[in-house]
Structures are given as structure tokens and as C-alpha cells.
Structure 1
């Protein structure tokens, strides 16, 4: 039987489809790596100089394409949903924020609370690029107003961690709002960078259905006979729950698609390979994870906006409690893990399928990430079709990716 192994260079991570474009390469070695968009619409690290895997060892030690870990830090535990303190419904206490932000605005509300209470000096997160509104960029928000301005989901490539070193260099307490895989990279990096334990006051994530490449958005523009240069606004979610995707053009035209019109056809999602292999899309490495809580993951029209909030750590629980006490967050009904099985059935299926998919990659003699604390073996469905499918796709080159030019 072929033995599993991990990628030993940044190039190998990318070329084998294990890169999610988190931006950690650029943060840790900006003299060697810079994030660039590929022809396939994916943010990937491009080498500035001759590649040196030995020099890149600190990157590889925390790269989500090489390692994925979670530590049980909550009072309760569930085989599917992992370690947690509490699970409950919540939404932003500010009605305007609740309406404009994605779902119920819980993550934005927590960011606002951290700044307005003085617990954090700034938030590292992502927002629309003003010059190219269909795309996203990492941002540092120092005021509640700036956090609000960047509210809303970004369904496409995001390299939030490219700003990590800039954030740490400030020497001030801060929080991160990002993807679950980003949170895993931050926790792995903290093992060798004590500044993270000293300065990072909260690690907040959304429960993630997968990050699409830019091709999904480009397809929408083609359908509307627009080019990216025509676009002045590309809002993926918000202004309701789930809210429409809204596109505004320079000539004054506006276009909207409902959530189901945008996302009903899963075959067109253009989800990146690493997401299909993700062992932790539910934010087990974070302090707080916020989820959509539609029955069977399908919104039945618009509503006021309700998040499911999973507090993962005592620090995350204390933050949520303080935000509720301050009126920045409103707590709704209590949930349990089986509720989340119903809200997010695709996450349950993925947790059971990951071991088979990784075996398929190993059989195809492809690298896989090391993993710990995510119960992958315990949840192994031993699905031979999943295993054979992953092996066949890998051998056919369907997981292959490219390292862009700088």
C-alpha cells in the first residue's frame, strides 16, 4: 500500500492542488513570495526569487496544504462538530448591521464590539477591492465604521493572511475574521511565533461551504454581457438574509440574482480543490465560528438574519457573552450538534468522506496534509467510490494547479 506523505515545498503544495491561497507565504517571506491571481482565477504564491524549500520551512510548518490540526478546548465534544462551549442562535444587535451584513451579522458585530470596547486595536479581515470590486483584498479596520464597511461574505479567493505580519508588527491587540483554513494556519504558526499568543485576542471564522475561484463570478458577468472593468459594485450577500447578489455597472445599470439563482447549481460553484479535501470547514481551530442555519442548508426566501454561533474556546465564549451584555449581539434559541447536522448536512457528509478522499490521493501518489485532532479516522466511512473517484481525478490531472509568474 502506498504510504501517505506531505508536500516538501511551496511549489508542491500549489501544483498538487493543496493550496487555498491564504496568503501566509507572502506574510512570512515577502522577499520570496507574492500572491498573484492565476489564469484559473485562483490566488496563488508566485516566486520572486529562486525557490528555497529549506528557507520556506516556517511557511510549510503552518501551511494548510501541509498540516491541519485542532485542539479540544471546549467543555463539550461531538464526533462531527468537535469541541465547543455553546451552540446557539445569534444576530447583530444593530438592526442596520443585521440587515446589511451576511446572514445575521454576528461576526461583524463581534468585530465592532472588540473595537468599541477597546479589547482590540484593529481587525484583520477582508473586503471588496475598491479598484476591482469583484475581487477581495485583506484589510485592517481600526474603527467600528470600517468593520461595518467591509461586512458581507466574499465568495471568491481571499488571502487574508497576507496581512498577518503587518498586523503583528504593530504590536497591538487585534482580532482576525477569516476562513476556517486560515484559522488553522494561524494556530499552527503560533507554535513558533509567540507574538500571536500575546497579541491575538480573537480568531473568528465562518463555517465554510468552500471557496470558489474567480471563474464563478466571471461566469455571472458573461451572462450579463459585462466585463470586470464595467463593475463598480459586486456584493455577494447581505442587505437581507440571504440577500441578493447585486452587481452595479459604470453606466448605471444594476443587476440582482437571488441566493438560489446564484448558488442552486452546485456544479457551477467552481470550488477550489483544497476545499473538497477540507478536514475543518467548521472552524475547530477558531475561538468562534458563525454558520448559516437554514433547514437542509436551503433558504426559504428572505428573513431578518440569524446566525448559528459555535463558541469553541473559553475566550470565545467570554467574547460572545460580553457582546451580548453590551447589546452588540443578541442571543436566540440554544442549539445542539444534531441541529447543525440539519442546518449543514454537507459538512456531515464531508467529515465522513475526507479519509476516503485522502486515501485516493495517496493511492495516486499525491501528497496530502498531516492531520491531528479532527477525528478523520474515527469518522471514516470507508467509501470506496469516494476513494476511487479521488484517485481517478488526481491521476487525470484534475487536481493540478499552477504556480503563477510574479
Structure 2
């Protein structure tokens, strides 16, 4: 995996790939396969057309006040990771954090201590490839937990179908709700608009230290700059999301044990607050984890959440679920490659919508295709 001049993390083929390796790539790549797979956990729970299978939905936050304050919102993912290490249920967590040497970029880490887990607190609005270290994690033959995006969890589950070590050693798959990953140009343009170069930046914190907190940029020579959440995200034309993310049918982590999201009406914060997460518990294993973490005080559960409230607080997830069948149909009609989707109810959801909505989504996808948004320069040898 290399970083292109455009700031995208992409695979670079360095030699001949054997047929059996191609078979594994085609079977496990979450870019071309999106499925619902919760491992061996199939007990109980309820199903919803939009939100999928789940056991329980709660409003919660980290029990540690400092962790809650510094995290992206309520800090539940970091709190669950900390609990798993302290209770010795896992030996490490596979996750990402800001790179120590290039703070505008992300790096994968195997967190072995609570302090390392806390260092990963905070969202990374840019390319990250936590599964780049999955073989290293599996080769250790120790119990671990995984924290990543929904597509990362799908890739992990697909690998588990071919490599039994995934089910044997990865004890929990935890996910954030994802609205689409911004390309690196979002961060690059942010610092350039402040008159900075990447090599001058010593800190880039997108959120946290409050909820939602301010984006903060610091330089090696002591300067500091801050932007509000609204200044960063109100202009949707500058979100710089990957085009693949715009046809993603699973931003809500249907294959995870636990998936965590922001919780503001309309998903738009009106000011700073103490920080809460909506937490969808999708498996019985995740249910046991949340209960144990709450009993230990690592997580505090405020109240239950209903599906109507989830839809109110994450309306973009509902809209995408309703439109993605049309988006994929538009690309398919244009003879463009689209992912194989299994178990995500897309046709059923689309059939309940006005036909005009799916037609508009299909036309929008084809327009982006004509604009070249679904193609990019080939990966070159000089990429690092």
C-alpha cells in the first residue's frame, strides 16, 4: 500500500501476482464486495429495513471524563478498547492514529496499553488502511480487537472466510458510523489556505477536546490555528469524499459487533456539549461487551434510543440507504464496475421509495462518472 501524489492510499503491484492470490484479492476486497457478516454470532436481535440487525441502541459516553472530553464525541470506542485491555480479554487493538512523523496522515498501530489506545482517540478525516497490518496481527496468534470503518470490518469478515485465524484471534470488531472518508486533499487544502506547508505542521486535530471541538493545526515554530466544526464542514462541496464512498451501501457498520456514531439532531451540532455517542449493538457478543464495560465504569449508558431517533440524528445515513440502489444502477447501466452487494436489502429499500428518487440518484451517479470522478491516475512506482 502506497500514498499517491493525490494523497490516496492505493495498492502498488510490484511483481507478478499468482492466480490463487488474485482469487483471494477478489474474494476479500471490500471495495468490490459488500456483505453483512457478523462472524459466528447469529443469536437474537431484531431487524430493520434501514438500520439492519441489532440487539440494542443506547446513548452512551466514556466513563473517564478526560477521555470523553478529548475524544471525537463521547469516546465510547476508546473506552471499549481500554476496557478490553484492562480486563485482559485481548492483548492488543489494531487501529489507526495520527502519524508521529507526518501528523497530517494516519498510521496503523497495535495498541498494547491504555495509553496507546487513548493516543488514537479522535477521528481521522483522511485515508487510513488499518487492515494493512492484519497479517502482522494474525501472525502474533494472540487475542486482539479491531477498530475501523465499516468497510474495514467487511474486509476483515471476508478474510475470515478464508483464514480461520480471524475468527480464532480477532475477538471483537468495532466500528464507527461513516459518512464517507475524505481524500487527503481536504487536509492539504486546509493547511494551504492557512499559508502552511505539510512539513511545517506538528499537529492536525480534526475534532475532540470538546464536542464537536475545534479543528486545530499547530506548527513546529509555535503557531496555532483553529476552525469551528461549521467552518470545516458546512460547505458540502468541499467535503472531498472518495467517489467510492458515495456508492457505499454500508456506512452504518452492519458487520460490526458494536458501531458508534455522533448524536446531534440532523447530525449538525448547534454548539459544544459534553459529548455523547449513539451505540448500535449488533451482536450478542457486543451486547455482553457493552454490559461488562458499563459495569466496570469504562462506559456510561445514559438511556435507550429508538430507531426514529437514530434516523433523526443520522439523516444522511437514511438518505444514502434509500438512494444507493439507484446510484449503483446508474453506474451499472453505463457499464461501469460496481461492487457486489449481499444482504443489505437495497432493492427492497428502493422499492419503497418514489421511482423518481432512484432515477435522480442514477442520473447523479452517471453525471459523476462523465466528470471523471470514478477514475484516477494509475499508481506509479515513485509513490511512497
Alignment pair present for 1:169 and 2:139 = yes
2:37, 2:157 within 8 Å by CA — same for their partners in 1? no
**Once the 2 structures are TM-superposed, how far is the Cα of residue 223 of structure 1 from its aligned partner?**
1.1
**Alpha carbon RMSD of aligned pairs, Å?**
1.2
TM-score (norm 1): 0.90
* Partner residue of 1:61 out of 23, 27, 47: 27
The residue aligned with 1:304 is 274
Looking at structure 2, the residues matched to 77 and 71 of structure 1 have their Cα atoms a distance apart, in angstroms, of: 14
1:45, 1:403 within 8 Å by CA — same for their partners in 2? no
Looking at structure 2, the residues matched to 394 and 333 of structure 1 have their Cα atoms a distance apart, in angstroms, of: 44
Looking at structure 2, the residues matched to 395 and 366 of structure 1 have their Cα atoms a distance apart, in angstroms, of: 11
**Once the 2 structures are TM-superposed, how far is the Cα of residue 53 of structure 1 from its aligned partner?**
5.8
The residue aligned with 1:42 is 8
Q: How does 1:7-406 map to 2 (within 5 A)?
A: 35-51=1-17, 55-71=21-37, 73=42, 75-380=45-350, 381=353, 382=355, 383-406=358-381
**Once the 2 structures are TM-superposed, how far is the Cα of residue 52 of structure 1 from its aligned partner?**
5.1
Looking at structure 2, the residues matched to 302 and 105 of structure 1 have their Cα atoms a distance apart, in angstroms, of: 15
**Once the 2 structures are TM-superposed, how far is the Cα of residue 59 of structure 1 from its aligned partner?**
1.7
Q: Compared with structure 1, are the counterparts of its residues 270 and 53 closer, same or farther at alpha carbon in structure 2 (3 Å cutoff)?
A: farther
Looking at structure 2, the residues matched to 393 and 220 of structure 1 have their Cα atoms a distance apart, in angstroms, of: 24
2:37, 2:154 within 8 Å by CA — same for their partners in 1? no
Looking at structure 2, the residues matched to 344 and 45 of structure 1 have their Cα atoms a distance apart, in angstroms, of: 32
Which consecutive residues of structure 1, in runs of 5 or more, have no partner in the other structure?
Answer: 1-34
Q: Which secondary structure state, in structure 1, belongs to the residue aligned with residue 81 of structure 2?
A: helix
Looking at structure 2, the residues matched to 262 and 234 of structure 1 have their Cα atoms a distance apart, in angstroms, of: 13
Which consecutive residues of structure 2, in runs of 5 or more, have no partner in the other structure?
Answer: none
1:46, 1:403 within 8 Å by CA — same for their partners in 2? no
**Once the 2 structures are TM-superposed, how far is the Cα of residue 54 of structure 1 from its aligned partner?**
5.1
1:128, 1:150 within 8 Å by CA — same for their partners in 2? yes
Looking at structure 1, the residues matched to 32 and 124 of structure 2 have their Cα atoms a distance apart, in angstroms, of: 25
Looking at structure 1, the residues matched to 88 and 37 of structure 2 have their Cα atoms a distance apart, in angstroms, of: 28
2:58, 2:278 within 8 Å by CA — same for their partners in 1? yes
The residue aligned with 1:5 is none
1:129-148 CA-partner distances (Å, limit 9, x unpaired): 11110000111100111101
Looking at structure 2, the residues matched to 51 and 203 of structure 1 have their Cα atoms a distance apart, in angstroms, of: 29
Looking at structure 2, the residues matched to 57 and 397 of structure 1 have their Cα atoms a distance apart, in angstroms, of: 29
- Write out the 4+ residue segments of structure 1 that deviate beyond 6 Å after TM superposition: none
1:289, 1:311 within 8 Å by CA — same for their partners in 2? yes
Q: Which secondary structure state, in structure 1, belongs to the residue aligned with residue 365 of structure 2?
A: helix
**Once the 2 structures are TM-superposed, how far is the Cα of residue 71 of structure 1 from its aligned partner?**
4.1
2:78, 2:121 within 8 Å by CA — same for their partners in 1? yes
**Once the 2 structures are TM-superposed, how far is the Cα of residue 210 of structure 1 from its aligned partner?**
0.7
Q: Which secondary structure state, in structure 2, belongs to the residue aligned with residue 133 of structure 1?
A: coil
- 160-169 or 374-383: which moved more? 374-383
The residue aligned with 1:14 is none
Looking at structure 1, the residues matched to 366 and 232 of structure 2 have their Cα atoms a distance apart, in angstroms, of: 30
**Once the 2 structures are TM-superposed, how far is the Cα of residue 39 of structure 1 from its aligned partner?**
2.3
Looking at structure 2, the residues matched to 405 and 274 of structure 1 have their Cα atoms a distance apart, in angstroms, of: 21
**Once the 2 structures are TM-superposed, how far is the Cα of residue 51 of structure 1 from its aligned partner?**
4.9
